[in-house]
Amino acid sequence: DSGVTQTPKHLITATGQRVTLRCSPRSGDLSVYWYQQSLDQGLQFLIQYYNGEERAKGNILERFSAQQFPDLHSELNLSSLELGDSALYFCASSVGTGDGNTIYFGEGSWLTVV
């Protein structure tokens, strides 16, 4: 168990809908990352937050947004869902953002769009 908690574990929703994925980082970790894993693209970095502020942005669609709250938990919001958004979404956390930081992954939220 990495200590990173993600909910829900599984989610099935229809095209056009909106969902929110939730992540609690490991105790003491200030940095949160979101990744998307699909069969054809592998693990793709979406976005990173550090202590409530956005730090880096990857291949995140405009339909997706995220935030990190004062208690350090984070949410990833996915809207106007399309079939191609079906994937495993991982949250990860680390203590800081600098060199030598180990990044720990949660178990993922499996999203199926039908």
Partner 1 sequence: QKEVEQDPGPLSVPEGAIVSLNCTYSNSAFQYFMWYRQYSRKGPELLMYTYSSGNKEDGRFTAQVDKSSKYISLFIRDSQPSDSATYLCAMRMTGANSKLTFGKGITLSVRP
Q: Render the burial of 35-70: b for 16+ CB within 10 Å, e for the rest.
A: bbeeeeeeeeebbbbbeeeeeeeeebeeebebebee
Distance of alpha carbon 34 from alpha carbon 21, whole angstroms: 10
Nearest-approach distance from CB 76 to partner 1, in angstroms: 15
Q: Which of residues 16-75 bind partner 1 (CB under 8 A)?
A: 31, 33, 41-45, 48, 55-56, 58
Nearest-approach distance from CB 37 to partner 1, in angstroms: 9
Query: Site residues (CB under 8 A) for partner 1?
Result: 2, 4, 31, 33, 41-45, 48, 55-56, 58, 88, 90, 94, 97-108, 110
